Chain A
């Protein structure tokens, strides 16, 4: 980093990437909730993953200790992140690669675009990666005249459908196979017009298209699940083998990695490679784990660039409670158990990081004012905290972010008045009498005025009792 550091680290800049939605969560959610196909697709998919993951986790007698180990390793990483990143940079450089530091999305996009331009290639193949979605790399490449091709099946469906991912692990979870067939027929070059919606036929069509692309593209872009500081090794875990193709076939490999992905030692992978597949896809082990250390002459890409991305992460790290959000290993278990996500889907969150972790991480990365509705997109039921394989206390973070969020003026006034009343028992009793008087004002089924009318739209109000508890107590 060439900048002279002054003051607090900055948040992710606006105008680039996909961390901010265009409308608040409640109104975006309303649209998703009205889409019965989406509700069915999501309900079916999340219930299936939930059950499979629960079964796999039940097999592991020391799951709770593994979670605790995962949490402890990540806590240690965050406590000495600068030191580990410098160690990683040194090891990766020694192994024949080039390390780049990107302060934000704009810088990372420029670095990657320049690297691709220097190769002369007009196309890149991509391994599914959250971080390149976060920074809007595809849009930056397209603007520079470079065609990015997503090679993960679900990510390809999203790309061909001119759509946005709606889940961290299963980006096309909102689509069913009939919809996928239509997208392929419309947008996949060279597709067989007689394509059916059989899963095997859809996969074969994608494979046929992608195989040509793998063999003819000289540059690949990936993210990283882990980077080992001790050895300079990068790791990508995946299910389809498309990632392995991208990581081994091209001449040049560019990996963009959030700075929080580093782990200290090779042995630490042991913990996360047990936690991640069981929590995410509900598998004992993911089918493909690719690991590489710099450049190996005569084997695999002969040029390797590692782009280390901040984009608001240092600002998250600066908050001692909030920094646990950086522990996230992008397994998406919290999405699959979340009753809100299950009903609204991922697009309602606006950011590429949806669900409970997105409701905390997105506002943390952008600054809470830019995603002020997200910390409220939760009933605080706590299912996410129980499911998280690295024990991120998401409800605690949600409550903390709500405290930092800008509040509507009328609500703030009402909350201050309520607190004052509740700290003065005489006033409190007077307010209770007012509640009871509403017995005379209206019966059940009556509507409350805004902003409380959301309640009476679908629920009756309870009849106020004739006597409060404390009146009954005083009179016994």
Chain B
């Protein structure tokens, strides 16, 4: 299958390993990945911070860029959630019903990675090998906007060598929330502190999730406290194999 990668601005700029892992994984499963170079950002930060007018050209760009593709994947629940739920709303509020129709059409072909693997490609065992103790944080937007349910857990359970431990109070927000983490830094930190406490209680070596943004937040806190727990994107775990473990091919970067 020919799959267009919607890389997301954060993964492109700061966490390329998550995006590279998505490419390696899909190619290993026998699919062709294409990267439409005109893409930049879906505009979620602007919409969530209260700048819908500024987001509109980014939404138009996103639609223009991805309209030619039948299947689009992003390694982010939040950005897919934005495309599915916010793009149509913003387009309608701007009075552009034609754009709203086009974004809905593109959104219907856009999948978060675990959705693509389980629902579209029909795989749960992707042939990965990852010999670590791992806990999974279901990010709010993948949980409640996309309803990915247990798809990421089913994928993780099929990874050889992986010891999956349940995260207590997993469904509570980590406190990131985009600009919320800056505008309400104290409240965000209080939420982060509880999330880190739960992560540490699992004695996992690695905390994974399907959003680089939440992992950046969690990872930033875990690093500040020198906990030794790494945050690794789900795509990087699924892309890891016996071969990559031996050759040292980079599959996990975030301490």
Tell me if A5 counts as interface (CB < 8 A to partner B). Answer: no
Q: Are A407 and B12 touching (Cβ within 8 A)?
A: no
CB distance from A447 to the nearest CB of B (A): 12
Interface stretch, picked from B39-47, B115-123, B125-133, B199-207, is: B39-47
Q: Are A455 and B220 touching (Cβ within 8 A)?
A: yes
Interface stretch, picked from A176-184, A194-202, A282-290, A422-430, is: A422-430
**Interface residue SS majority, chain A:** helix
Assembly CA distance A432 to B11 (angstroms): 11
Assembly CA distance A378 to B43 (angstroms): 19
Q: Are A386 and B16 touching (Cβ within 8 A)?
A: no
In the complex, which residue of chain A has the Cβ closest to the Cβ of B8?
A469
Tell me if B124 counts as interface (CB < 8 A to partner A). Answer: no
Q: Are A381 and B181 touching (Cβ within 8 A)?
A: no
Q: Are A382 and B14 touching (Cβ within 8 A)?
A: no
Tell me if A396 counts as interface (CB < 8 A to partner B). Answer: yes
Number of A-B pairs, beta carbon distance below 8 Å: 187
Assembly CA distance A458 to B216 (angstroms): 12
Assembly CA distance A425 to B14 (angstroms): 17
Q: Give the one of A376, A377, A380, A396 with max B CB within 10 A.
A: A380
Interface stretch, picked from A60-68, A154-162, A412-420, is: A412-420
CB distance from B7 to the nearest CB of A (A): 5
CB distance from A108 to the nearest CB of B (A): 32
Residues from chain B with Cβ under 8 Å of A29 in the complex: 184, 186-187
In the complex, which residue of chain B has the Cβ closest to the Cβ of A30?
B186
Residues 414 to 470 of chain A near chain B (Cβ within 8 Å): 415-416, 418-419, 422-423, 425, 428, 432, 435, 444-445, 451-452, 454-455, 457-462, 464-465, 467-470
Given A25-B184, A33-B187, A386-B144, decide whether A460 and B220 contact each other with a Cβ distance below 8 A: yes
Given A462-B216, A465-B16, decide whether A455 and B254 contact each other with a Cβ distance below 8 A: no
Q: Are A407 and B50 touching (Cβ within 8 A)?
A: yes
Q: Are A460 and B223 touching (Cβ within 8 A)?
A: yes
Q: Are B14 and A465 touching (Cβ within 8 A)?
A: yes
Tell me if B182 counts as interface (CB < 8 A to partner A). Answer: yes
Q: Give the one of A344, A416, A470 with max B CB within 10 A.
A: A470
Assembly CA distance A418 to B175 (angstroms): 24
Complex interface bits, B185-223 against A, C-beta within 8 A gives 1, otherwise 0: 111111110000000000000000000000011011101
Q: Are A454 and B141 touching (Cβ within 8 A)?
A: no
Tell me if B151 counts as interface (CB < 8 A to partner A). Answer: no
Complex interface bits, B142-153 against A, C-beta within 8 A gives 1, otherwise 0: 011100000000
Q: Are B37 and A425 touching (Cβ within 8 A)?
A: yes
Complex interface bits, A25-66 against B, C-beta within 8 A gives 1, otherwise 0: 110011001000001000000000000000000000000000
CB distance from B238 to the nearest CB of A (A): 17
Q: Are A423 and B57 touching (Cβ within 8 A)?
A: yes
Given A422-B58, A459-B221, decide whether A382 and B186 contact each other with a Cβ distance below 8 A: no
Residues from chain B with Cβ under 8 Å of A428 in the complex: 9, 40-41
Assembly CA distance A469 to B89 (angstroms): 30
Residues 8 to 25 of chain B near chain A (Cβ within 8 Å): 9, 11-17, 19-20, 23
Q: Are B177 and A343 touching (Cβ within 8 A)?
A: no
Tell me if B249 counts as interface (CB < 8 A to partner A). Answer: no
Interface contacts beyond A435-B14, A454-B182, A457-B185: sample of 14 additional A-B pairs, CB < 8 Å, sorted by A: A26-B187, A29-B184, A381-B173, A382-B145, A386-B144, A403-B47, A403-B50, A407-B50, A432-B13, A455-B185, A460-B219, A469-B12, A470-B35, A470-B37
What residues make up the interface of A, taking CB atoms closer than 8 Å to B? 25-26, 29-30, 33, 39, 339-340, 343-344, 375-383, 385-386, 396, 399-405, 407, 411-412, 415-416, 418-419, 422-423, 425, 428, 432, 435, 444-445, 451-452, 454-455, 457-462, 464-465, 467-470, 472-473
A-B contact pairs, 23 of them (CB 8 A): A26-B187, A29-B184, A343-B187, A378-B177, A382-B145, A402-B48, A404-B50, A412-B51, A418-B45, A419-B46, A419-B51, A423-B61, A428-B40, A432-B13, A451-B182, A452-B182, A454-B188, A457-B185, A459-B192, A465-B15, A465-B253, A468-B16, A470-B12
4 interchain residue pairs of minimum CB distance: A454-B185, A379-B177, A459-B220, A402-B50
